[in-house]
Amino acid sequence: MKAQNTISQMRRGILEFCIISLLADNEVYTAELIDRLKAADLLVTDGTLYPLLNRLQKADILQYRFVESESGPPRKYYSLTEEGHAVLKDLDGAWQEIHGSVEMIRRGNDSE
């Protein structure tokens, strides 16, 4: 299907936003995040997420701490930094603007 490529692009664009949103009020470890994003069809593979998290962490948007697991290797639990919360606020505003633009464009042409 030819739309598939474009649809992937749309998903990709909001991936970071969704990750940051998911971490807004909870500490979440990576594999859990992967499951949730995959369930929402926003992520394809874990090889995408790990570099992304590292990037956001280096940008001082995320922080993590290692937590020992009861059954398996230790896990990185991520949460937002103070700056991360500020970024989330910006992203939230941007999302609403973009959403508005898209709806305007969609309506503008459906009406006829």
**What is the contact surface with DNA in residues (CB under 7 A)?**
5, 8-9, 11-12, 15-16, 29-31, 43-48, 50-55, 68-76
Contact between 35 and its own copies by CB under 8 A: the answer reads no
CB-wise, 47 or 108, nearer to DNA? 47
* Per-residue contact string for residues 81-110; x = within reach of its own copies by CB under 8 A: --x---x--xxx-xx-xxx-xx-xxx-xxx
- In the complex, least distance from residue 62 CB atom to its own copies, rounded to whole angstroms: 11
**CA–CA separation, 40 and 21 (whole Å):** 14
Tell me if 26 sits within 8 A of 40, measured CB to CB: no
| DSSP 3-state of 5 | helix
CB-wise, 59 or 112, nearer to DNA? 59
Contact between 21 and its own copies by CB under 8 A: the answer reads yes
Contacts of 20 (CB under 8 A, 6+ apart): 56, 61, 62, 80, 84, 87, 88, 91
